[in-house]
């Protein structure tokens, strides 16, 4: 057994490739500007610190001329290059994610970047462990890139435990935004696990070849949280706390009336709270439906339910009445 464990350890070590360089910008000496590769379970991940463009923004906005706004500079130095890197329309980043609004508190942003750079090795170690934990249960054929960005200093990160993220439309890239003063080992691992499930779902299902109605979006989040709960049984966050009976009734009624809706405003209402529903209703009810489905269908594997259509999940749960 010891020989086997040693052999596995050697494979993991061989699968890791790190390149460390540094760069100095306006007195800030970034030690981590190059990527780290980690290969485990026959899958390769590239972890990329995206700190330098934010420093470039800070410097350029201090000496802006020619009528350029701070927003213009942020778009040109941070958003547009990121969009090119992750194969995403830069305008979509601005319109979809509030964390990409132009930061006003550049002093705090500067401090955030310094702290992230100082804590980079710790963050990498947590991510590597999360990669191993998740790929032990579910693998992808894709090589996945993970971009590490500073959390917008103008936005409170406490509710998110200092970490938030998203997956690109092709499932090939995970973007994590991190507040170095708030994040924990758990929040790094939990957020990665959630977004990783999205990435695998996008790659292995018919996600990329069809439109997604409200049920699809709700169950997609429920699947990601259910997967995270399996990987990390201690996973506890506000957006999977159970709804009370009245809230559940309102949320289910909302879903039933809009079962075929492609209106983005409906998912925003569920996420932000509206029509008598609490914040994160899409996550909460999605998680409840998935927990019911898993309990009722223990013979269906993670790999199998990952690619199942939302209607099939709901039909085989205790919430099938919303399909009627």
Percent of the chain with pLDDT over 70: 91
Q: Is 240 exposed, middle or buried (0-12, 13-18, 19+ CB in 10 A)?
A: buried
- Kindly tell me the burial class for residue 265, based on how many C-beta atoms sit within 10 Å of its own C-beta (0-12, 13-18, 19 or more): exposed
Please report whether residue 186 resides in a domain.
yes
Residue 70 clears pLDDT 90, i.e. is over it: yes
35: its two tokens: 């990527």
Q: CA torsion sign, 49 to 50 to 54 to 57?
A: positive
Alpha helices in 119-213 (DSSP H): 120-135, 185-204
What's residue 65's pLDDT? 72
Residue range 268-288: average pLDDT? 95
If pLDDT is split at 50, 70 and 90, which confidence band does 79 have? Answer: very high
The pTM for the full model equals 0.90
The DSSP call for residue 28 is: E
Residues 218 and 182 in one domain: no
Residues 199 and 299 in one domain: no
User: Does 2 reside within a domain?
Assistant: no
- For residue 7, the model assigns a pLDDT of 32
| Strand (E) or helix (H) holding 49 | strand 43-49
Euclidean distance between CA atoms 205 and 211, whole angstroms:
13
Sign of the torsion formed by the C-alpha atoms of 87, 280, 135 and 185: positive
Residues 297, 315 share a domain = yes
* 4 within domain boundaries: no
Pair 222, 93 in one domain: no
Pair (250, 152) in one structural domain: no
Q: How many domains does the chain have?
A: 2
Question: In whole angstroms, what is the distance from residue 101 CA to residue 86 CA?
Answer: 18
Helix (H, G, I), strand (E, B) or coil at 196: helix
Mean pLDDT computed over 218-229:
99
**Whether residue 140 sits in one domain with residue 39:** yes
Query: Do residues 113 and 141 both lie within one domain?
Result: yes
Sole residue written with tokens 């390149």: 19
Verify that 131 and 269 share a domain, yes or no. no
Q: Does a structural domain hold residue 7? A: no
Comparing 55 with 97, the larger pLDDT belongs to 55
**Is residue 304 over pLDDT 60?**
yes
Q: Write phi, then psi, for 96 (nearest 5 degrees).
A: -100, -35
pLDDT tens across 148-183, in order?
999 999 999 999 999 999 999 999 999 999 999 999
User: Domain for residue 1, yes or no?
Assistant: no
Q: What pLDDT does residue 20 have?
A: 41
Mean pLDDT of 122-149: 96
Q: Which of 174, 204, 234 is the last residue of a domain?
A: 204
Mean pLDDT over 199-226 rounds to 95
Which residue from 225, 319, 201 is spatially nearest to 280, judged by alpha carbons?
A: 225
User: Taking residues 138-149, what's their average pLDDT?
Assistant: 94
Task: State residue 4's pLDDT score.
Answer: 34
Please report whether residue 160 resides in a domain: yes
- Domain span at residue 254 reads 211-323
8-52, pLDDT tens digit by residue? 333 333 344 344 444 555 566 899 989 999 999 999 999 999 999
> What does the alpha-carbon distance between residue 283 and residue 204 come to, in Å, rounded to a whole number?
22
- Mean pLDDT of all residues in the chain? 90
């Amino acid at each position: 057994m010891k020989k086997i464990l040693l052999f596995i350890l050697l494979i993991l070590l061989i699968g890791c490739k790190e390149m460390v360089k540094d760069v100095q910008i306006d007195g800030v000496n970034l030690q981590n500007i190059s990527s780290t590769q980690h290969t485990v379970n026959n899958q390769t991940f590239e972890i990329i610190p995206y700190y330098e463009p934010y420093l470039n923004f800070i410097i350029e906005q201090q000496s802006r001329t020619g009528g350029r706004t701070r927003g213009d500079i942020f778009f040109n130095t941070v958003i547009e290059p990121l969009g090119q890197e992750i194969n995403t329309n830069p305008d979509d980043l601005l319109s979809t994610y509030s964390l990409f609004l132009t930061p006003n508190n550049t002093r705090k942003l500067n401090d955030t970047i310094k702290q992230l750079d100082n804590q980079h090795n710790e963050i990498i170690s947590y991510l590597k462990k999360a990669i191993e934990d998740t790929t032990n249960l579910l693998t992808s054929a894709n090589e996945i890139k993970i971009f590490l960005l500073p959390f917008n200093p103008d936005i409170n990160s406490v509710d998110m435990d200092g970490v938030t993220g998203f997956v690109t439309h092709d499932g090939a890239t995970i973007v994590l935004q991190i507040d170095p003063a708030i994040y924990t080992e758990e929040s790094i691992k939990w957020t990665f696990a959630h977004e990783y499930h999205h990435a695998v779902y996008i790659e292995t299902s018919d996600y990329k070849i069809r439109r997604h109605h409200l049920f699809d979006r709700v169950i997609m989040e429920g699947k990601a949280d259910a997967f995270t709960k399996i990987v990390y049984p201690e996973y506890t966050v506000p957006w999977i706390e159970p709804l009370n009976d009245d809230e559940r009734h309102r949320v289910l009624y909302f879903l039933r009336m809009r079962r075929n809706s492609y209106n983005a405003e409906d998912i925003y209402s569920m996420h932000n709270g509206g029509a008598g529903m609490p914040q994160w209703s899409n996550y909460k009810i999605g998680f409840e439906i998935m927990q019911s489905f898993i309990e009722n269908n223990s013979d269906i594997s993670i790999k199998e339910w990952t690619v199942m259509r939302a209607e099939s999940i709901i039909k085989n749960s205790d919430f099938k009445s919303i399909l009627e």
